[in-house]
Chain A
Amino acid sequence: MHAAHHSTPQLPDRLCEDWRFGAPHKHAAALAQMMRGCTRRGTITVEGADDAPGGWSVHGVRSIGSDALLALHQAAEGVGLYLQHDYAEPITITCETDGVYTPAVYIVARAGVHAHIIERHICRGEHSAMVCARRIVAEEGAQISVELQEEGCGTSRVLNITDITARGACVRHLTTHANHEWAREETTAEALGNAADIQLFSANRLEDSQMLDQHTRQLHSNRGCASNLLYKNVLDGRATAVFAGNIYVAPGAHDTDAYQSNRNMLLSENATMHSLPGLEILADRVRCSHGSASAPMDAEQLFYLLSRGIPRHQAQLLVAEGFLNDVHTRFQAE
């Protein structure tokens, strides 16, 4: 496996807009050092698919500010899912490490295929790290849902660089993070062809001093496609989250439907949310919107639960879970 780049781009720093709030001096530098200096170790397994060949290169994955890290990625192991028929049961890909691991995942859904893929990334070891490059391609009429479940150990770091292309297909994508010290997502989703529909979801609960840095691009290159994004976070303790999203509607991509919503519940005065939703529209006759809201838990909702005798701690937990459950319900209902 070889990276696509012959010369390594510069590591991101704080002057890089896509890393402005992501503490690059601390985390990007640490990931680069680990990838340069440590032997990659981990496992990648696939259950539920009859054909999952290994040996895929990271070539061509679009990052949002992390080209240098992608160049260092050099997939230790990659798995490709080439889905040619419907799958009634979910396919599960599990990547696991107690050190430094750089898996690559390539999913291609042929025309008309229906499938649900669960991808689990598990960091077990203290200060372990995973950098994953992912490419998802869905062809005409395919309907696939991909659920990325991140599980850390409290001191782990993870970077996911995901590149989705829906060519006249429907792709639903959900990410959830638990217990990483630092996690970053760069998700590029391009709607192409005839009536492509991309749905991006994320639901996360962050506490202590955890950090989640999420960057998204919804790209509309052809006319008449749709995309929708709903990212929600619950932040407690001294947790920090970043959401920077952009909807780009290219010249000529008329009749686009594209929406973006980032909602955050702050349970602590010390929690921090940086939300930067964005739109760039270069076509006519589009329906696009973006919105962001970050606020403490709704006092009236909490009072309602308390007034039924539910103890405060549990009431807060229920309201916060409900806030995130909404995302899971929409992901499943679409």
Chain B
Amino acid sequence: MSLVIKDLCARVKDGADILKGISLEIPKGRVHAVMGPNGSGKSTLSKVLCGHPDYEVTGGTAELDGQDLLSMSVDERSRAGLFLAFQYPVEVPGVTNANFLRAALQARLPQGETVDAVAFYKELRAKMKQLGMDAKFTARAVNEGFSGGEKKRNDILQMLMLQPSYAILDETDSGLDVDALRIVSDGVNAMRAPFRSFMVITHYKRLLDYIRPDVVHVLYQGRIVRTGGFELVERIEQEGFDFLKD
């Protein structure tokens, strides 16, 4: 059981090729980090896997536990177990966090079943407390007027509530202060389990010090050019990405 990506190629619709043959496999229970300089295709990879309409897959395959991910609609991918914590979480005016999460949980239930409101709010408040979020955020519109850090926490709250099998964290550390980074990382680490895997996209070692990856990939110009262990993180921290040009 794993997320298997083979020779994945994608471009911006009617635009430039971004991904030029990505292959990787993330088995259940593992954390893979994806690093790379700006413009290497990290965020594109995450969005293509989730089915963002701005991108077009021009080749290759992606399978989630043996299911063809690329043939699914965006919402089907999520219900199949895929989750993306966005680099820039979107504001959705007028839709409260609570209603948003209830709708997302309701969509996962068999027809005829409904979310138990009491149990839902109890769990929601517990997860918010775990992330150091004020209870008033349940009634606030999704991400509207939130600070950068609050938006990132809110995405992680959604991940905690939806309990995905595969989570992609796209630069979750950007915009977080030291304390928030620790709290968010603790939340992610608490979700690490043999039946769940993570793809952690980041520029910086500091996040990977908290969320220790099993495997590290380096993406450069739309291709994975290095795969290794934590030593790759150390090297990037010391030398930057210049060594990739050699």
Residues in A lying within 8 Å of B, measured CB to CB: 298-301, 303-312, 314-315, 318-319, 321-326, 329
Main SS at interface, chain B: mixed
Pairwise interchain contact B94-A329, C-beta atoms closer than 8 A: yes
Please determine whether A309 and B93 come into contact, CB atoms closer than 8 angstroms.
Answer: no
**Which of these binds chain A: B82-90, B195-203, B218-226?**
B82-90
Given A309-B107, A318-B92: 6 more A-B contacts, CB < 8 Å: A306-B74, A306-B78, A307-B77, A318-B99, A325-B94, A329-B94
Residues of A within 8 A of B93 (CB): 322-323, 325-326
Question: Who on chain B is nearest to A328 by CB?
Answer: B94
Give, as a whole number of angstroms, the nearest-CB distance from A280 to chain B: 31
Task: Determine if B92 and A304 form an interchain contact, defined as CB atoms under 8 angstroms apart.
Answer: yes
Residue of A nearest to B164 (CB): A309
Tally inter-chain residue pairs, CB-CB below 8 A.
Answer: 82
Q: Which interface residue of B93, B94, B100 has the most chain A CB atoms within 10 A?
A: B94
Partner of A310, one of B83, B86, B107: B107
B180 at interface by CB-CB < 8 Å: no
Q: Does B129 contact A (CB under 8 A)?
A: no
Which of chain B's residues have a CB closer than 8 A to the CB of A305?
Answer: 92, 95, 100, 103-104
By the criterion CB–CB under 8 Å, are A309 and B75 in contact?
yes
Report the bound CA distance from A267 to B60 in whole Å: 34
Q: Judging by beta carbons under 8 Å apart, are A322 and B141 in contact?
A: yes
- Give the A-binding residues of B (Cβ under 8 A): 50-53, 73-75, 77-79, 83-84, 86, 89-95, 99-101, 103-104, 107-108, 141-142, 158, 162
Contact (Cβ within 8 A) B74 A318: no
Contact A319 B92 (CB under 8 A): yes
- CA distance in complex: A119, B190 (Å): 53
- Assembled-state Cα–Cα distance A319/B162 (Å): 20
Give the residues in chain B near A308, CB-CB below 8 Å: 75, 78, 100-101, 104, 158, 162
Once the chains bind, are A309 and B104 in contact (CB under 8 Å)? Answer: yes
Q: Which of A307, A314, A323 has the most CB of B within 10 A?
A: A307
Q: Is the interface of A mostly helix, strand, loop or mixed?
A: helix
Which residues of A lie under 8 Å from residue B94 when comparing CB positions?
Answer: 321-326, 329
Is the beta-carbon distance between B141 and A303 smaller than 8 angstroms? no
Known A301-B92, A304-B90; judge A310-B103 contact (CB<8 A): yes
CB closest chain-A residue, reference B141: A322
A318 to B107 alpha-carbon distance, docked (Å): 13
In the assembled complex, the Cα of A307 lies from the Cα of B141 at a distance in Å of 17
Q: A301-B90, A309-B75 are in contact. Are A321 and B162 (CB under 8 A)?
A: no
Can you show 27 pairs from A to B with CB atoms below 8 A apart? A299-B53, A300-B90, A303-B53, A304-B86, A305-B103, A306-B75, A307-B50, A307-B74, A307-B84, A308-B158, A309-B75, A309-B104, A309-B107, A309-B108, A309-B162, A310-B104, A310-B107, A315-B75, A318-B99, A318-B100, A322-B93, A322-B94, A322-B95, A322-B141, A324-B94, A325-B93, A326-B94
B218 to chain A minimum Cβ distance, whole angstroms, is: 26
Separation in Å of the A36 CB from the closest CB of chain B?
Answer: 43
Q: Which single member of A299, A301, A307, A314 contacts B103 (CB below 8 Å)?
A: A314
Residues of A within 8 A of B86 (CB): 304
Q: How far is the CA of A322 from the CA of B97 in the complex (A)?
A: 11
Which residues of B are found within 8 Å of A300, using beta-carbon distances?
Answer: 90
Please indicate the chain B residues that have their CB under 8 angstroms from the CB of A321 in the complex.
94-95
